[in-house]
Amino acid sequence: MFIAKLAWRNIWRNKRRSLIVILSIVVGVSASLLNDSYGVGIMNQMVDNLIKSHDSNVQIHKSGFRDNKKVNDVIPNFNRISSILAKLKEINGYSERVICFGLISSAANSSGVSIVGLKPELEKNVTDIHKKIIAGRYLSTGRNEIVLSKKVAEKLEVEIGDKLVAVASDINGNVSSQMFRVVGIYRSGISEYDNIYVYIPLADAQEMLNLGNNIHEIAVSIEGYRKSSELKAKILSEFNKNDIVTDIYEVSTFQEIMPLMMAFLDVYHQWSYIIYLIIGIAVLFGVVNTMLMTVMERINEFGVIMSIGIRRGKLVRMIIYESLFMGLIGTIIGFTVGLLIYYPMSVNGVDMSQFSESMASFGLPNQIYPELNMNVVINTLLIIPLVTMIAGIFPAIKAIRLQPSEAVRFV
């Protein structure tokens, strides 16, 4: 297209000026890319961490257990559910758990904890605490073993091999206690979880609480947290197929278990758009200013072109092409520069260990890995060119407002 060719050549009339504008766009675009990918990385890691450390994608309980974890609210007929789950091929696995509050005491101290009784061979398919063991080992088939976090171990001043007493109230309301030996110490990196979760064999928990063969919770894992809703739907449909009455159970997705986390992610997401907007405005100033300068400089020329008989629309288009092309060049270079900086960060992670307590309180590890998803790519590639197009509008309108005779005389 002739007009496009003309616009392109016009950009390079003043190389230095155009390059400075393009440079400012490069900075803006690469900053946007890095900022957004960092944000996405944080959000994904936060959620993954929570899911993989304990919560999992879907939890199945007796109705009401999620809000009020009462010892006697065991899952009715859990065996049926387990056998249904065992046949689902899309899941990673499921884990049968007993959950109760209790007190564990050592010679030195005591601590209120959430005791989780589980079967290690099932649990390994659902959470990754077994990978986060920093001393000793995970639970095995043995009995009276306990795995707790470094924080709690320090508080109780215990090490591998030491003995602890766990005290809880059983299904009849009687206080029950049992002795355990510390076999492993973990660090999940999530302050909240480290502070409260300790793990013991399922059989011991059932015995301690007099639960017989019952359990409180089945945690189900599938790849990707967005699939939690699908999983829930699938489970419910399987219940229906097998004539299981669904209202005595509650099947909760991760989102339902952590509504505040989802709200937080939402807010974070919105916030990233504001960042784009602010960067866009900053770039806008520079581009509009430059375009105004170039247009004012060529008023005379525009007058000549108008005298030849160009329609105003074409002239506007030409000017907008000019700012758009600068935007495109800047975006492409900026995107490349951003990618070049992004790749090593996405492989090695960004070290945030000086903020480790803060990170842990948000449930984040010390190494953050920025992530690119389609959303980020599209936003980064689209927003600035859009901004530059808008930037061209005002100068273009200024140009065509003139009467050709005034323009021509303007030397």
Partner 1 sequence: MEILRVENLTKEYSSNGITVRALFDINLKFEQGEFTVIAGPSGSGKTTLLNIIGSLDKPTFGKVYFLGEDLSQKNKSELSDLRLNKIGFIFQAYNLIPVLTNLENVEFPLMLLGMSAKDRKERAMRIMEELDIAELANKRPNSVSGGQQQRVAVARAIVHSPILVLADEPTANLDSKSASSLLDLMEKMNTEKNITFIFSSHDKNVIDRAKRLILLKDGMVVQDENK
Partner 2 sequence: MAWRGLWRNKRRTIITISAVAFATFLTLISKAMNDGTYLTNIKYAVDSYTGYIQINQKGYIDNPTLKKSFYPSEKLKSVIKSIPYLKSYTRRVVGDGLIAHKSNTFGVMILGIDPVYEKTVSKISNKIKEGNFINNYTKNDIVVGAKLLEKLEAKLGDSIVILVSCYDGSMGDMKLRIGGIMKSGQVETDAGIIYMHVEKAQDLFALDGRISSIVISLNDFDKISIAKYYLEKNLGNELEVSDWTKIMPELKQTMDMDSVNSLIFLGILIVIVGFGILNTILMSVTERFREFGVILALGARNIKLIWVVIFETIGISFIGLLIGLVLGAALNYYVYFNPIAITGIMADMYADLGFIPAIYTTVSFDIYTYTISYILIVCFLAMVYPVYKISRLEPLKGIRFT
- The contact set with partner 1 (CB under 8 A) reads 2, 6, 9-10, 12-13, 300-301, 303-312, 314, 403-405, 408-409, 411
Shorter beta-carbon distance to partner 2: residue 28 or 303: 28
308 binds, among partner 1, partner 2, none (CB under 5 to 8 A by kind): partner 1
Torsion of CA 359, 361, 364, 366, to 10 degrees: 40
Minimum distance, C-beta of residue 16 to partner 1, in the bound complex (Å): 16
Shorter beta-carbon distance to partner 1: residue 10 or 24: 10
Measuring CA to CA, how many Å separate 164 from each of 103, 115, 118, 150, 318?
10, 13, 18, 15, 79
Cβ-defined contacts of 75-83 (< 8 Å, 24+): 75/214, 75/215, 75/216, 75/217, 75/218, 75/249, 76/248, 76/249, 77/244, 78/214, 78/215, 78/218, 80/242, 80/244, 81/218, 81/239, 81/244, 81/249, 82/218
289 binds, among partner 1, partner 2, none (CB under 5 to 8 A by kind): partner 2
User: What's the token pair of residue 396?
Assistant: 């273009």
CA–CA dist 34, 157 (Å, integer):
43
50 binds, among partner 1, partner 2, none (CB under 5 to 8 A by kind): none
Shorter beta-carbon distance to partner 2: residue 178 or 221: 178
Minimum distance, C-beta of residue 78 to partner 2, in the bound complex (Å): 21
134 binds, among partner 1, partner 2, none (CB under 5 to 8 A by kind): none
Tell me which amino acid residue 167 is: V
Q: Which of 320, 321, 316 is nearest to 399 (CA)?
A: 316
Shorter beta-carbon distance to partner 1: residue 27 or 315: 315
Minimum distance, C-beta of residue 329 to partner 1, in the bound complex (Å): 17
Minimum distance, C-beta of residue 354 to partner 2, in the bound complex (Å): 8
DSSP for 355-401? Answer: GHHHHHHTT--SEE-----HHHHHHHHHHHHHHHHHHHHHHHHHHHH
Contact 7, 328 (CB under 8 A): no
Shorter beta-carbon distance to partner 1: residue 17 or 269: 17
Shorter beta-carbon distance to partner 1: residue 221 or 294: 294
Tell me which residues touch partner 2 (CB under 8 A): 16-17, 20-21, 23-24, 27-28, 31, 35, 68-72, 100-103, 105, 107-114, 154-157, 167-169, 171-173, 175, 191, 196, 259-260, 263-264, 267, 275, 278-279, 281-283, 285-286, 288-290, 292-293, 296, 352, 354-362
Shorter beta-carbon distance to partner 2: residue 4 or 135: 135
Contact 63, 247 (CB under 8 A): yes
DSSP 112: E
Which residues pair with residue 168 across a beta bridge? 176
411 binds, among partner 2, partner 1, none (CB under 5 to 8 A by kind): partner 1
What's the start-to-end Cα distance of the chain, in Å? Answer: 29
229 binds, among partner 2, partner 1, none (CB under 5 to 8 A by kind): none
247 binds, among partner 1, partner 2, none (CB under 5 to 8 A by kind): none
Shorter beta-carbon distance to partner 1: residue 109 or 403: 403
CA–CA dist 359, 354 (Å, integer):
9
404 binds, among partner 1, partner 2, none (CB under 5 to 8 A by kind): partner 1
